[in-house]
A = this chain, B = another copy of it.
Amino acid sequence: MNFSLERMEKTKEIENILASYLPGAKVPQEVILEAMRYNLLAGGKRLRPMLMQETYRMFGASSKVIEPFMTAIEMIHTYSLVHDDLPAMDDDDYRRGRETTHKVYGEDIAILTGDALLNYAFEVAIQAFEIEPSLYERIAQALKILAHKAGIFGMIGGQVIDVSVVGTTITKEELNEIYKLKTGALIEASMSIGAILSGASKEEQDVVLQIATKVGRAFQIQDDILDVTSTKEVLGKPIHSDEKNEKPTYVSMIGLKKAKEEVERLSQEALSLLKNLHVESEYVAGLIQDLIHRKK
């Protein structure tokens, strides 16, 4: 089977898992369930759950205990987009070619939808204890990573710095720190949780984290590159948005050519670390290459 077809099938599999964890009850607060589905089932690359599941499988594991965590990480990623798009934040009207939550449901429901997705992420992740009670130590460790990487010392921390530096001059090191937290943290959480739940050794977990850090940074630099080289039609969102929002980026800082070289270097380092793990990593390697050379 070729990589593109395999990836499409895996994406479909992930979307079925996500849908199965979404509540479908007929309740007076129905609108929030609808807004959660509107966002969570809106397509997208499913990068984080896919990296998590494939890292988990790469170490030979196959239990359903990974599924609540796959769902949780995608919910956390999704809530951050809902809140990021709000008028008081990036003020974006479109995302993935569709109107953003506050445009469709109003700002109050958009705030509550983000809150609901974040809270439900933990509500779902905790279900792992019921799926594999005997793995409670690994599950508790995975929960800890999830909360830490999503929080003030991870993704939220990155967003706070990002909001604070708009219109100011920052160094390349500071930009690296923003990227490491804002985008990198959830990618690190995805791969780390996959490794932890699979029962990978401490040494293997460390290597996986190093790979994830490189992939996360390369992914974000590629985002900056696409913001100046792609089109609105391909991305499904406005281009040149960083410039519009006066956001410092890798491209504005070191230029397009060097940014591309940096992506190449990081991806080669990640692939070489992956090879040294001596596990069946062909699909994960393909995924990393694809993510880093993506066009949208």
Query: Measuring CB to CB, which residues of chain A are less than 8 angstroms from any residue of chain B?
Result: 23, 25, 27-29, 31-33, 36, 79-80, 83, 86, 88-89, 106-112, 114-116, 118-120, 122-123, 126, 129, 133, 136-137, 140, 143-144, 147-148, 150-153, 156-161, 163-164, 174, 177, 181
Contact = CB atoms under 8 A, between A and B. Distances in A.
Nearest to A150: B119
A106 B86 CA distance: 13
Nearest to A139: B140
Given A27-B153, A140-B129, A164-B31, A111 B89 contact: yes
B88 A107 contact: yes
Nearest to A23: B152
A161 B109 CA distance: 10
B147 A33 contact: no
B147 A32 contact: no
Contacts of A110: 88
Contact of A151 (B109, B123, B144, B150): B123
Closest 6 CB pairs of A and B: A88-B107, A123-B147, A29-B160, A29-B157, A119-B151, A129-B140
A224 to B, nearest CB: 20
A29 B109 CA distance: 27
Main secondary structure on A side of the interface with B: helix
19 contacts: A28-B164, A28-B174, A29-B156, A29-B181, A32-B157, A36-B152, A79-B115, A88-B110, A111-B111, A112-B159, A115-B156, A116-B152, A118-B118, A118-B119, A122-B122, A123-B148, A126-B143, A126-B144, A133-B137
Contacts of A147: 119-120, 122-123, 126
A108 to B, nearest CB: 5
A32 B152 CA distance: 8
Nearest to A165: B28
A235 to B, nearest CB: 23
A83 B174 CA distance: 29
Nearest to A144: B126
A152 B119 contact: yes
Contacts of A151: 116, 119-120, 123
Nearest to A90: B108
Given A119-B156, A126-B140, A144-B126, A112 B29 contact: no
A226 B119 CA distance: 31
